[in-house]
Amino acid sequence: MLYTEKVMDHFEHPRNVGEIEHADGVGQVGNPKCGDIMKMYLKIDDGVITDVKFKTFGCGSAIATSSMATELIKGKRVEEALGLTNAAVAEALGGLPAYKMHCSVLAEEAIKAALADYYQKQGLEVPEACKLACEDGEGCCCH
């Protein structure tokens, strides 16, 4: 089978879909390879991500990786969330076909864009880890 059961589960029943009003951080990124778009909303209290929601105009792999990524960062500190990689998200889903790995980049970059927005709103310097992820993602609009 092309996709793992976990990928299909998160595609058919995505977690944390929607928007957060008055979010502490919002990030939107586009995938330069296919034009798909993802928007991520974070609620952050005392440096902890207490809620996260996403909206994706994209393929099944983008939806599944976004869903899994939101589960992985919910309840985590912002510093930990910054360390999340697309490879870790894909691994948590039991893997993705190689030619769909680029879809998982969208979730990582959307989280980092939302975190960059959070740091900026707080008047804090945006961490390097976030800037790097944004700079190599054409179409990233977090700066």
132 binds ligand FES (CB under 6 A): no
63 binds ligand FES (CB under 6 A): no
Read off the DSSP letter of residue 99: G
Least distance in angstroms from the C-beta of 89 to ligand FES:
13
- Of 2-10, 53-61, 76-84, 130-138, the segment contacting ligand FES by CB under 6 A is 53-61
Binding residue (CB under 6 A) for ligand FES from 16, 61, 70, 86 = 61
- Taking the CA of residue 135 as centre, how many other CA atoms within 13 Å lie in the half-sphere pointing to its CB? 7
Q: Which residues are catalytic?
A: 34, 103
- Contact residues for ligand FES (CB under 6 A)? 31, 34, 36, 58-59, 61-62, 103, 106
